[in-house]
A and B are shown apart, each in its own frame.
Chain A
Amino acid sequence: MSEPARRRLVFAVLAAALPLALLSALSLGSVPLSPLGVIGSAAARAGLGAPAPLGDVGEVILWSVRLPRVLIAALVGGGLAVVGASLQSLFRNPLADAGLLGVGPGAALGAVIAVNLGWAQERFLALPLSACAGALLALLLIYALAHAGGRPSLSGLLLTGLAVSAVAAAGTSVLLVATEEFRVRTVLFWLAGGLEGRGFEHAALAAAFVLPGVAALFLLSRPLDVLSLGEEEAAALSLPVHAVRIVVFGLCALVAGPVTAVAGSIPFVGLIAPHALRGLVGPLGRHLLPASFLAGAILVVVADLAARSFGQYVELPLGSVTAFVGAPYFVLALRGQEGRE
């Protein structure tokens, strides 16, 4: 199959799979709703067909409980996948990922600082914004440390990420001990990563950051492609290398910070989605980034469905589900890359 034909096929499959995943996630759960009823209820909201086909309880579950949660899952997954793909172009390494690069721990530290100082309770946007700041600081720190001795190797990058993540995690622990008890549970809950009890205000918050951030990263597709050729070649092609890097870092933090603030840390999504797609749609940003958004959204919607379908009374943390799937994938991918180096 020629590459354009394969690419069209992949986009068709992803575009079909996302609504299917959303519909499944809206229908399945402790109270099952019929998929046709879900579609009917959506049609009724749009002014078509009889109102409230799911009954009063069903309607509340669908519109107040499941829909915001599923929307957040899609935004979180899509956002993390696009951030992963962008960072991979930037670091010119297919295994760079927001989680491995300390973005998650950095964002978590920022969020815990906001909770500890009481900002999060006073102002609605304080938590996501300080998560953004934490993510950005972690990225800049890793970038500066890893590039101190020239172009970083994969191991240099991962180890630097590990070190910065460890420091951020340690800071988070210290702050947790110092945080008043009634706030600690909120933080712990949230650090594990999950979407339980998230409502429309969280969905709106995620959308307000993720959608513009992702759109801006889409617009930077071509500069990211040029940058992936190497610093010198990019500069010789008139790309303002450092400015582009700083802007991309800022946008990645803008997306990953609020995502972490809303959903906690969801590891490996930014790694798996772009990694699996690069071979299918090629490495050019204008194909890889949109495809990663769709695949990441599908991945987290399905992972969240799995997290809440696992037991009858207990929900698995979403972050654990993606880690259980993602970590083995990462090990295999790492082995593949080492084999080529």
Chain B
Amino acid sequence: MSGLVEARGLHVARGRREVLRGVDLALSAGEALALVGPNAAGKSTLVRALAGLLPATQGEVRLDGRPIGSWPRPLVARRVALVAADDEAPARLRVEDRVALGRYPHRGPLAAFTAEDRAAVARALRLTQIEHLARRALGTLSAGERQLALLARGLAQEPALLLLDEPAAHLDVRHQLHLFHVLDEVRRSGVAVLAVVHDLQRAAWAPRMALLDRGRIATEGPPAQVLESAAAAQAFGITIRGVTPGDGGERLWRFEER
């Protein structure tokens, strides 16, 4: 299958510093990928470059086989949604209005919302299970609820590719489980999901994992293969040992200082 989104030899600079130095990565529809790596490896930069927000200094990002820079911006935002960890929306904004702003790439500044837009907003609220919060102001929500409202805005864009930058950063364990459950449902509906995940154990949620180290993909593959690789140990500067629990559950990892 040809990739929905593909980075080829991607170099991206922020200011004068070259953050990405030759990233090759491809993602197809309905696929989930966890992007892991130490601090300052370039994870956030890669996510933003894949969203077309940062220009490549060398190499390129292709969306549906075409260079992303050649796409009109609204068309990119209909195909790619970015959900970051920080929500800066006004505290008085209501959840459903916040989610409805995800329809901006489809409607632009003036066109009235159609039944299609309202249906997309309703679907996004249902999928994230925050329908009961629809009329609440963002300022009255917990961090976890706000994060779900932010995710719902991304889903209201009806993207083919959902990019998340540490979506679970401020969430307690219950909200984390809920969030990744929602992401599974999104993926099953045919959307490609790429999430930067800090918690390596949690990152094993995705069938595929990519390790970004110093601006390059050091290794990628199934979580166990990536986490137990020499590259991961070197990138994080720790020892990682995999354990399969006696009851045959999912594989767990132990992280130890060297």
Which of B53, B89, B101 is the most central at the interface, judged by chain A CB atoms within 10 Å of its CB?
Answer: B101
Q: Is B37 an interface residue (CB 8 A)?
A: no
* Contact residues in A for B98 (Cβ distance below 8 Å): 229
Q: Is B232 an interface residue (CB 8 A)?
A: no
When the two chains form their complex, are residues A237 and B105 in contact, meaning their CB atoms are under 8 A apart?
Answer: yes
For chain A residues 212-242, which have a beta carbon within 8 Å of chain B? 219-220, 222-223, 225-226, 228-230, 232-233, 235-240
Q: Is A282 an interface residue (CB 8 A)?
A: yes
Find the B residue at minimum CB distance from A89: B90
* Contact residues in A for B48 (Cβ distance below 8 Å): 232
Other-chain residue from B73, B92, B110, B135 in contact with A238 (beta carbon distance below 8 A): B73
The interface size bin for chain B is: 20 to 34
Q: Is A3 an interface residue (CB 8 A)?
A: yes
Give the complex CA separation of A233 and B86 in angstroms: 10
Give the complex CA separation of A157 and B86 in angstroms: 22
Give the complex CA separation of A2 and B89 in angstroms: 22
Other-chain residue from B53, B94, B101, B110 in contact with A226 (beta carbon distance below 8 A): B101
Q: When each residue 66-88 of chain B gets 1 if its CB lies under 8 Å from chain A and 0 otherwise, what string results? A: 00000001101100011010101
- Knowing A232-B53, A282-B92 are in contact, say whether A240-B135 is a contact too (CB < 8 A): no
Find the B residue at minimum CB distance from A228: B90
* Contact residues in A for B97 (Cβ distance below 8 Å): 225, 282, 284
Give the complex CA separation of A220 and B135 in angstroms: 24
When the two chains form their complex, are residues B51 and A236 in contact, meaning their CB atoms are under 8 A apart?
Answer: yes
Q: Is A53 an interface residue (CB 8 A)?
A: no
The interface size bin for chain A is: 20 to 34
- Knowing A92-B90, A228-B90, A283-B93 are in contact, say whether A222-B77 is a contact too (CB < 8 A): no
Give the complex CA separation of A235 and B76 in angstroms: 11
Q: When each residue 1-12 of chain A gets 1 if its CB lies under 8 Å from chain B and 0 otherwise, what string results? A: 011000000000
Q: Is B215 an interface residue (CB 8 A)?
A: no
When the two chains form their complex, are residues A279 and B92 in contact, meaning their CB atoms are under 8 A apart?
Answer: yes
Q: Is B245 an interface residue (CB 8 A)?
A: no
Q: When each residue 105-135 of chain B gets 1 if its CB lies under 8 Å from chain A and 0 otherwise, what string results? A: 1000110000000000000000000000001
Q: Is A245 an interface residue (CB 8 A)?
A: no
* Contact residues in B for A284 (Cβ distance below 8 Å): 93, 97
When the two chains form their complex, are residues B90 and A237 in contact, meaning their CB atoms are under 8 A apart?
Answer: no
- B175 to A: closest C-beta gap in Å: 20
When the two chains form their complex, are residues A232 and B109 in contact, meaning their CB atoms are under 8 A apart?
Answer: no
- Knowing A222-B109, A236-B81, A240-B73 are in contact, say whether A283-B104 is a contact too (CB < 8 A): no
Give the complex CA separation of A42 and B15 in angstroms: 64
* Contact residues in B for A235 (Cβ distance below 8 Å): 53
* Contact residues in B for A232 (Cβ distance below 8 Å): 48, 53, 82, 84
- A252 to B: closest C-beta gap in Å: 17
When the two chains form their complex, are residues A225 and B51 in contact, meaning their CB atoms are under 8 A apart?
Answer: no
- A328 to B: closest C-beta gap in Å: 23
When the two chains form their complex, are residues A283 and B109 in contact, meaning their CB atoms are under 8 A apart?
Answer: no
* Contact residues in B for A219 (Cβ distance below 8 Å): 109-110
- Knowing A238-B73, A238-B76 are in contact, say whether A283-B92 is a contact too (CB < 8 A): yes
- Knowing A229-B88, A282-B93, A284-B93 are in contact, say whether A237-B109 is a contact too (CB < 8 A): no
Give the complex CA separation of A239 and B157 in angstroms: 14
- B222 to A: closest C-beta gap in Å: 30
Give the complex CA separation of A18 and B94 in angstroms: 28
When the two chains form their complex, are residues A236 and B88 in contact, meaning their CB atoms are under 8 A apart?
Answer: no
Q: Is A278 an interface residue (CB 8 A)?
A: yes
- Knowing A240-B73, A283-B90 are in contact, say whether A233-B104 is a contact too (CB < 8 A): no
- B92 to A: closest C-beta gap in Å: 5
Q: Is B102 an interface residue (CB 8 A)?
A: yes
* Contact residues in B for A222 (Cβ distance below 8 Å): 104, 109-110
- Knowing A219-B110, A233-B84, A238-B105 are in contact, say whether A228-B74 is a contact too (CB < 8 A): no
When the two chains form their complex, are residues B89 and A236 in contact, meaning their CB atoms are under 8 A apart?
Answer: no
- Knowing A2-B135, A3-B135 are in contact, say whether A92-B88 is a contact too (CB < 8 A): yes
* Contact residues in A for B102 (Cβ distance below 8 Å): 237
When the two chains form their complex, are residues B77 and A237 in contact, meaning their CB atoms are under 8 A apart?
Answer: yes
Q: When each residue 204-244 of chain B gets 1 if its CB lies under 8 Å from chain A and 0 otherwise, what string results? A: 00000000000000000000000000000000000000000
What are 21 A-B contacts defined by CB distance under 8 Å? A2-B135, A222-B109, A222-B110, A229-B101, A230-B88, A230-B89, A232-B53, A233-B82, A233-B88, A233-B89, A235-B53, A236-B82, A237-B102, A237-B157, A238-B77, A238-B104, A238-B105, A239-B104, A240-B73, A284-B97, A340-B91
